[in-house]
Amino acid sequence: MPSIQAEGDKHHAERRAEAHGDHHEDSHDHGSVRSYMTGFVLSVVLTAIPFAVVMGGGFESRLLTAAVVVGLAVVQILVHMVYFLHMNTRSDEGWTMMALIFTVVILVIVLAGSLWVMYHMNTNMMPQMDHEALGLGS
C-alpha cells in the first residue's frame, strides 16, 4: 500500500506543520512521554498507598481508613483524566468538558439518591422494626 502510506505521511506532515504553526493549539492533545510518565508515577503512588493502608490493617478508625481510601481514589481519577485522557476545557470547544460535567451531575444524583432512598427503606420498612417499635423485641 505505498500510496496510502504516502498519503498518511503527507497528512501527518501537514498536521505537524499545523501544530507548529499555531503553537501547539491542536485540539487533539496526545500528551508527551513526560506527561504520561508523570501520570503513571502519580497513579502508582496513589494506588500503592490505599492498598498498603488496607493490607496493613488500616487505621484505628474505620471511618478514617475509608475516607483516606476514597479520597485517594478521587485524586487518582482526576490524575487519569488529566494525564491519560487529556481532559481540558479547550478540546472540541469545551464540549467534552460539558459532557463530563453533565455526566458527573447525573452520576452523583444516581449514586447519592439510590443509597439514600434504599438506606431509609431498609431501616424504616423492615418487618422487625414493627416489633421493636412495639417493644416486642426483634
Partner 1 sequence: MSTVSPQAPGDFWEVEPHHHHEGASTSIGFWVYLMSDCLMFAILFATFGVLGGSYAAGPGPKDLFDLELVALNTAFLLLSSITYGLAMLAMVKNNKGGTLGWLAVTLVFGLAFLAVELYEFSHLIHLGAGPQRSAFLSSFFALVGTHGLHVAFGCLWLVTLMIQVGQRGLIPANRRRLSCLSMFWHFLDVIWIGVFTFVYLLGMI
Summarize as ranges the residues that interact with partner 1 (CB under 8 A): 1, 4-5, 7-9, 11-12, 28, 30-33, 36-37, 39-40, 43-44, 47, 50-51, 54-55, 58, 62, 65-66, 69-70, 73, 76-77, 80-81, 84-85, 91-92, 95-96, 99-100, 102-103, 106-107, 110-111, 114-115, 118
Give the long-range contacts of residues 10-19, CB within 8 A, separation 24 or more: none
To the nearest whole angstrom, how small is the minimum distance from the Cβ of residue 53 to partner 1? 8
Q: How far apart are CA 81 and CA 86, in angstroms?
A: 6
Closest to 79 in 3D by CA, of 117, 56, 47? 47
Please list the alpha-helical segments (H only) found in the chain: 2-21, 33-55, 62-83, 95-125, 127-133
To the nearest whole angstrom, how small is the minimum distance from the Cβ of residue 134 to partner 1? 25
To the nearest whole angstrom, how small is the minimum distance from the Cβ of residue 48 to partner 1? 9
